[in-house]
A and B are shown apart, each in its own frame.
Chain A
Amino acid sequence: DAGVIQSPRHEVTEMGQEVTLRCKPISGHDYLFWYRQTMMRGLELLIYFNNNVPIDDSGMPEDRFSAKMPNASFSTLKIQPSEPRDSAVYFCASNRGWREKLFFGSGTQLSVL
């Protein structure tokens, strides 16, 4: 298994543009998580899914952020419109169940100019 796959690895965009980050979890993992990593706040949980259903999105910073999981092998995190303060590394992670270890993707480095 290639592990959790994220794309793109790097994204540079201009303020106001729509950004879509993609994630493919490990096959058989029922939970998928989106995290944001910044120097000031470390790793923050944005949202997580169980069996493709969003369970907790309380970490999503604003309505500009949205996440979907149309099937067990794909999820997207969308920012529309993007702002410079959204610049961060966004990680996707998955696991098999409650209190199991998380498997992280390589992350997407987002820069909003």
Chain B
Amino acid sequence: AQRVTQPEKLLSVFKGAPVELKCNYSYSGSPELFWYVQYSRQRLQLLLRHISRESIKGFTADLNKGETSFHLKKPFAQEEDSAMYYCALDGGYQKVTFGIGTKLQVIP
């Protein structure tokens, strides 16, 4: 069975502070990991995926197979980063499992 764990439902940080949204997964094979984001009054949308190895809006995420983690990081938080963030795992056969989500609140 595949599982995604996001241990924090709410993460509050001050503007300019570093951000780390945690994601751990459980899957026996080779997963595809994603971060999706939902800004207020907007649709859930892809932020980044591990296979792309890119930085989007200053965010990066590294897949650590040893620790089965895919934490999302940003060195300096901005107010517009406030949103709901979901870590997702695609174990194949289009079965995408999402974590419960972490609400990021950036305090001015």
Contacts and interface: CB of A to CB of B under 8 A. Distances in A.
Interface of A: 3, 31, 33, 35, 41-45, 48, 50, 55-56, 91, 93, 95, 98-99, 101-102, 104-107
A107 B84 CA distance: 15
A45 B96 contact: yes
Contacts, number: 52
A43 B86 contact: yes
Interface stretch (B11-19, B21-29, B44-52, B66-74): B44-52
A107 B92 CA distance: 25
Interface residues of B, number: 21
Contact of B44 (A44, A48, A56, A91): A91
Nearest to A35: B98
* Secondary structure dominating the interface of A: strand
Nearest to B44: A104
Contact of A48 (B36, B45, B92, B94): B94
Given A45-B95, A45-B97, A50-B94, 8 more contacts: A42-B6, A42-B99, A43-B98, A56-B95, A99-B32, A99-B94, A104-B44, A104-B45
Interface of B: 6, 32, 34, 36, 43-46, 49, 86, 90, 92-101
12 contacts: A42-B6, A42-B86, A42-B101, A43-B44, A45-B95, A45-B97, A48-B94, A101-B49, A102-B44, A102-B46, A106-B43, A107-B43
A42 B100 contact: yes
Contacts of B86: 42-43
A50 to B, nearest CB: 7
